[in-house]
Amino acid sequence: MPGAISMTDVINAQTVGDLRDEGDELLIDLIDLFFGETPARLRVLTTALAAGDREQVERSAHTLKSTAATFGAETMRAVAAEAEMAARAGRLESVAQLLPTLHREAEQVREALAGVRAELAS
């Protein structure tokens, strides 16, 4: 049984614990994916928003929503879901308003996962 990981309320302890129960390798891979994928996906979203590319905005928000759900990051997931729905409805100005919050939430999740990653590596 792996030792307990200290957790913040930004990510869900049960969700992350379940992933760890499958082995540290899986959780480490997923955290590393988050580090690589999320900044890239946020850049794509920002660029698509500037270009008025509604479909790409919706797709990127959808992916960020799924990413957040992987770790039970409920606030980030909810913001991304709201952005996805707004994009689907063609309300790109609403997505633009949500973007700073999405960046902020993603950064908080990154920090929380960095803490988990450090404990796994130690």
Partner 1 sequence: MAVRTLIIDDSPFARRVIRHHLTKAGCKVVGEAESAAQALRMFHELKPELITLDIMMPEVEGVDSLRALREMRAVLPELTAIVVSAVPFDKIRDSYLKEGAFAYIVKPFTQYSFEPVRQKLLRVFRQSAA
Quick one: which of 21, 24, 111, 119 contacts partner 1 (CB under 8 A)? 21
Residue 8 as a binder of partner 1 (CB under 8 A): the answer is: no
**CB contact burial 12-42 (16+ within 10 A = b; e otherwise):** eeebbeebbeeeeeebbebbeebeeebeebb
Query: DSSP letters of 60-112?
Result: HHHHHHHHHHHTT-HHHHHHHHHHHHHHHTT-HHHHHHHHHHHHHHHHHHHHH
Q: Select from 14-22, 44-52, 105-113, 114-122 the region that touches partner 1 (CB under 8 A).
A: 14-22
Residue 26 as a binder of partner 1 (CB under 8 A): the answer is: yes
Contacts of 41 (CB under 8 A, 6+ apart): 60, 63, 64, 67
Q: Select from 43-51, 54-62, 91-99, 112-120 the region that touches partner 1 (CB under 8 A).
A: 54-62
Q: Select from 19-27, 43-51, 92-100, 103-111 the region that touches partner 1 (CB under 8 A).
A: 19-27
**Shortest CB 37 distance to partner 1, Å:** 6
Which residues of the shown chain bind partner 1 in the complex (CB under 8 A)? 15, 18-19, 21-22, 26, 29-30, 33-34, 37, 55, 58-59, 62-63, 66-67, 69-70, 72
